[in-house]
Amino acid sequence: MSTPTITTVVFILISFGIRWYLNIPPKAKFPQAELDVGNWHDSLMKAKAKFQNKTFIFGGNDPRIILPNYLFEELKDLPDDQLSSRQSAHKVLNGKYTGLGSNPPLAGAVMKELFNNVDGTLTLLQDEIHYAVEEGIGSCPDWTPVVIWKKLLRIVALSSGRILVGRPLCRDEEWINMVTNYTADVISACQDVLSVPRFLRPLIVPFLKSIRNAKNYRLQVAKKLRPQLKDMVDAHKRMQHDDDKSYFESLPDDFHNLAVWSLGHYPPGEVPTTESVAITVLSGIFAATHTMNVTLTNILFDLAAHPECADILRDEIERISAEEPNGKFRKKSMPKLKKLDSFIKESQRVNPIGSAVLLRLVTAPKGITLSNGDYLPYGTTICVPPARHTSAIDPKHLSPMPPQPSLDEFHPWRFSDLRQHKGQENKHHFVTTSTESTIFGHGRWACPGRFFAANEIKSIVIELLRRYDIGVGPAGQGEGEGEGKWKRPVTFNVEMGYVPDPTASIYFKDRDL
Ligand code: HEM
CA distance 178 to 277: 16
CA distance 319 to 311: 12
CA distances (Å), origin 135, targets 132, 139, 165, 173: 5, 9, 20, 13
CA distance 292 to 130: 17
What pLDDT digit, counting tens, does each position of 47-62 carry? 999 999 899 999 887 8
What pLDDT digit, counting tens, does each position of 364-379 carry? 999 999 999 999 999 9
Say how many residues make up the chain: 513
Is any atom of ligand 1 closer than 6 Å to the C-beta of 505?
no
Q: Which of 184, 279, 268, 266 is nearest to 233 (CA)?
A: 266
pLDDT at position 291 over 90: yes
Q: What is the C-alpha end-to-end distance of the chain, expressed in Å?
A: 93
Reported as a pLDDT band with limits 50, 70 and 90, residue 235 is confident
The whole-number average pLDDT for the span 26-37 is: 89
Cα-to-centroid distance, 291 and ligand 1 (Å): 8
Q: Among 64, 122, 450, name the best residue to mutate to test ligand 1's pocket (greatest count of ligand atoms within 8 A of Cβ).
A: 450
- 209-239 vs 173-194: helix crossing angle, rounded to 10: 130
Is any atom of ligand 1 closer than 6 Å to the C-beta of 156?
no
Residue 272 neighbours by CB under 8 Å, 6+ apart: 105, 233, 262, 263, 266
Is any atom of ligand 1 closer than 6 Å to the C-beta of 137?
no
What pLDDT digit, counting tens, does each position of 491-513 carry? 999 889 999 999 999 999 999 87
Superfamily (CATH) of domain 103-353+388-434+439-510: Cytochrome P450 (1.10.630.10)
Per the annotation, does 140 bind a ligand? Answer: no
The predicted pLDDT at position 51 comes to 94
Sign of CA dihedral 311, 315, 321, 326: positive
CA distance 215 to 210: 9
Least confident of 38-52, 115-129, 247-261: 247-261
The whole-number average pLDDT for the span 388-411 is: 92
What pLDDT digit, counting tens, does each position of 68-111 carry? 999 999 999 999 999 999 999 998 888 989 888 889 999 999 99
Check: CB of residue 204 under 8 Å from CB of residue 196: yes
The predicted pLDDT at position 114 comes to 92
User: In 329-395, at which residue ranges do the beta strands (DSSP E only) sit?
Assistant: 357-362, 368-369, 375-376, 381-384
Is any atom of ligand 1 closer than 6 Å to the C-beta of 272?
no
What pLDDT digit, counting tens, does each position of 191-213 carry? 899 899 989 999 999 999 999 99
Cα-to-centroid distance, 107 and ligand 1 (Å): 9
Q: Which of 291, 343, 290, 298 is nearest to 148 (CA)?
A: 298
Count the neighbouring beta carbons within 10 Å of the beta carbon of residue 311: 10
The predicted pLDDT at position 58 comes to 95
The predicted pLDDT at position 483 comes to 55
The predicted pLDDT at position 251 comes to 72
The predicted pLDDT at position 327 comes to 85
What pLDDT digit, counting tens, does each position of 336-366 carry? 999 999 999 999 999 999 988 999 999 999 9
Domain ranges of the chain: 103-353+388-434+439-510
Q: Quote the mean pLDDT of the chain.
A: 89
Is any atom of ligand 1 closer than 6 Å to the C-beta of 111?
no
CA distances (Å), origin 104, targets 190, 267, 372: 21, 9, 34
What pLDDT digit, counting tens, does each position of 449-486 carry? 999 999 999 999 999 999 999 987 665 555 555 555 66
Opening angle at CA 310, ends 489 and 503, nearest 5: 20
Pairwise pLDDT comparison (129 vs 392), residue with the higher score? 129
Check: CB of residue 106 under 8 Å from CB of residue 287: yes
